[in-house]
Amino acid sequence: MPTISSRGAHMPPSPIRKLVPYAEAAKKRGTKVYHLNIGQPDIITPPSIMDAVKHTDIKVLEYSHSAGFEHYRKKLVEYYGRNDIYVNHNQIIVTTGGSEAILFAIMSCLDAGDEIIIPEPFYANYNGFSTSAGVTVVPIPSTIDEGFALPSIDAFEKAVTSRTKAIMICNPNNPTGYLYSQQELDVLKDICLRHDLFLFSDEAYREFCYDGRKHISALSLEGLEQHAILLDTISKRYSACGGRIGAFVTKNQQVLDTVMKFAQARLSPPTFAQILGEAAVDLPSDYFDEVHAEYTSRRDLLVKRLQAMPGVKCPLPGGAFYAIAQLPVKDSEKFCQWLLEDFSYNGATVMMAPAAGFYATKGQGLTEVRLAYVLNTEEINGAMDCLAEALKQYKN
C-alpha cells in the first residue's frame, strides 16, 4: 500500500477546526452553538462591493496578470498611501488570500532547514506553512501575565542562529489581539538589521485598533525597506473571508522577482475577488467608523464578562477581534470538547479554540482558549452565560 509523505504526516491539524465534528453533532441534537472559535465576522459584506461583482459585464472569464490586475494594484497603492504605506503598484503582488502571501514569503525567502522566529502564541497556519516548506519554527513565548507583549530583546538574541532567516509577526495579533507599539517595532527593526533578517508582517487586522491607538506598518519603518515584507488580505477588513484575495507587498526587488515565479506557477489570483477588492478601496471614508464601534463594544462586553468569572484571566486586546482567556481547567481541549459533547444551557453551548494549538512549545497554552468576538452583543452575552454555567458544572 502506498504511503503518504513525511511532510503530510507532520502537517499540523487546525486547532480552530478540529472540534467541528463535535459541533456538527451538537447541532444535530438540536443544541444551538455559539461560534467563538473562528474569525468569521457576522458583519455584512458591504453591498456596494458585492454589486461590483454582480454587475460586471464579462464575456470571457480570462486569467489576470500573475501579479493581479494592474488597475487593482494601482487602487491598492491609493489604499496603502492612506495608511502611511508608500509603495508603487509594481511592489504589490495580488495573492489568493493572505494565506498564499504567507506561503509565498516562506517559500521565497527561506530554504528547507532554515529557521523562522515567531512570538507565540501565533496564528496556527504559520506553523503549517513552515512545515510544508521544511522550515523550522523557533517560538519565543509571550505571556498572558504581560498581556502578550513582545518578548524581550534577549529572548530574540538567544533564539537567533546561523540558520535564522526571518522573524514573523501578526500586528494586530491573531490569536491574542495584542497591538505592537512603535517602540516594539523599533526593537524588531534593530534585530533584523543587526542579523540581516527578513521581517514578515501579517497586517490582516490593520483597521481594528482600539482605545485611540494607531496601527504602524513594518513597511513604514525607516531603514527596513529591504527587509520588510507586508502580508495582507481583504478577508477581515471587509468581512469578505470567502473572497480569498490578499497581497504580498515589499520594496525588495529580488524578493518580488522570486515571488513572481511562484505567482506565475499558480497562474493568476481570482478575477471576481479582485473586482470586489478594487471596489472596496472606494468605500466611503467613514465605512469603518460603525464597524470599529461595533467591535469595540463586543470586545468590552466579552472581556468584562470573562473577567467577572471566578478563576478566569483575560487581558484587554488592543486590536483585531480575538482574545485569549485562561480558564480554571487543566486541559482546555478536553473542556472545549465536553462543551460540545455533554453540555448545554438553555438549549445552547459555546465553541472556542483551545489555545495549545497556537503554541509551538509543547505544554504551553493548555489552560487557555482563544475567543473571536465576531458575534453581536446579544449572542456574546448568550455565549458567556453558557461559559459561566459550564465552568461551574465542570468544576464539579
| Residue reference for cell 507532520 | 10
Question: What does pTM read for this prediction?
Answer: 0.96
DSSP E strands, the chain: 32-35, 92-95, 115-120, 136-141, 164-170, 198-202, 228-233, 246-250, 322-326, 348-351, 353-354, 368-372
Q: What is the pLDDT of residue 6?
A: 87
Q: What is the pLDDT of residue 360?
A: 94
List C-alpha distances in Å: 56 to 94, 149, 279: 20, 45, 11
H or E segment and range at residue 82:
helix 70-82
Asked if pLDDT for residue 370 goes beyond 80, the answer is: yes
- Say which DSSP state 144 is in: G
Q: Calculate mean pLDDT across residues 333-361.
A: 96
Domain with CATH 3.40.640.10 in the chain: 47-281
Q: What is the pLDDT of residue 335?
A: 97
CATH T-level topology, domain 6-44+287-395: Aspartate Aminotransferase, domain 1 (3.90.1150)
Give dist(CA 42, CA 44) in Å, integer.
6
CATH T-level topology, domain 47-281: Aspartate Aminotransferase; domain 2 (3.40.640)
Give dist(CA 367, CA 393) in Å, integer.
17
Domain with CATH 3.90.1150.10 in the chain: 6-44+287-395
| Residue reference for cell 504526516 | 9
* Least-confidence region, from 36-40, 195-199, 387-391: 36-40
Decide: helix, strand or coil at residue 170. Answer: strand
Q: Calculate mean pLDDT across residues 299-308.
A: 98
Q: What is the pLDDT of residue 86?
A: 98
| Segment 205-221, tens digit of pLDDT | 999 999 999 999 999 99
Q: Among residues 63, 65, 94, which one has the least CA distance to residue 77?
A: 94
Q: Calculate mean pLDDT across residues 8-27.
A: 87
Give dist(CA 136, CA 147) in Å, integer.
26
Q: What is the pLDDT of residue 130?
A: 96
Q: How confident is the model at residue 13 (pLDDT cuts 50, 70, 90)?
A: confident
Give dist(CA 180, CA 186) in Å, integer.
10
Percent of the chain with pLDDT over 70: 100
How would you label 219-253 residue by residue, b for 16+ Cβ within 10 Å and e otherwise?
Answer: bbbeebeebbbbbbbbbbbbbbbebbbbbbbbbbe
| Segment 76-127, tens digit of pLDDT | 999 999 999 999 999 999 999 999 999 999 999 999 999 999 999 999 999 9
358, 39 contact by CB (below 8 A): no
Q: What is the pLDDT of residue 18?
A: 81
Asked if pLDDT for residue 247 goes beyond 90, the answer is: yes
Q: How confident is the model at residue 388 (pLDDT cuts 50, 70, 90)?
A: very high
Q: Calculate mean pLDDT across residues 188-202.
A: 98
Asked if pLDDT for residue 284 goes beyond 80, the answer is: yes
Q: Calculate mean pLDDT across residues 262-281.
A: 97
Q: What is the pLDDT of residue 277?
A: 97
Q: What is the pLDDT of residue 162?
A: 98
> What long-range pairs does 20-23 form, CB within 8 A, spacing at least 24?
22/337, 22/340, 22/341, 23/340, 23/351
Give dist(CA 111, CA 93) in Å, integer.
21
Q: What is the pLDDT of residue 383?
A: 98
Asked if pLDDT for residue 143 goes beyond 80, the answer is: yes
Asked if pLDDT for residue 17 goes beyond 80, the answer is: no
Q: How confident is the model at residue 253 (pLDDT cuts 50, 70, 90)?
A: very high
| Segment 163-192, tens digit of pLDDT | 999 999 999 999 999 999 999 999 999 999
Dihedral sign for Cα 298, 16, 340, 333, please. Answer: negative
Dihedral sign for Cα 130, 87, 277, 234, please. Answer: positive
H or E segment and range at residue 150:
none
Asked if pLDDT for residue 12 goes beyond 90, the answer is: no
174 burial level (CB within 10 Å; 0-12, 13-18, 19+) = buried
132 burial level (CB within 10 Å; 0-12, 13-18, 19+) = middle
Instruction: Compute the mean pLDDT over every residue in the chain, rounded to the nearest whole number.
Output: 96
Exposure on the CB side of residue 392, measured as CA atoms within 13 A: 9
Please state whether 30 falls in left (phi above 0), alpha (psi between -120 and 50) or beta: left
Percent of the chain with pLDDT over 90: 96
Asked if pLDDT for residue 15 goes beyond 80, the answer is: no
Asked if pLDDT for residue 275 goes beyond 80, the answer is: yes
Q: What is the pLDDT of residue 11?
A: 87
DSSP string for 228-258: EEEEEESTTTTT-GGG--EEEEES-HHHHHH
- Say which DSSP state 361 is in: S
How would you label 289-301 residue by residue, b for 16+ Cβ within 10 Å and e otherwise?
Answer: eebeebbeebbeb
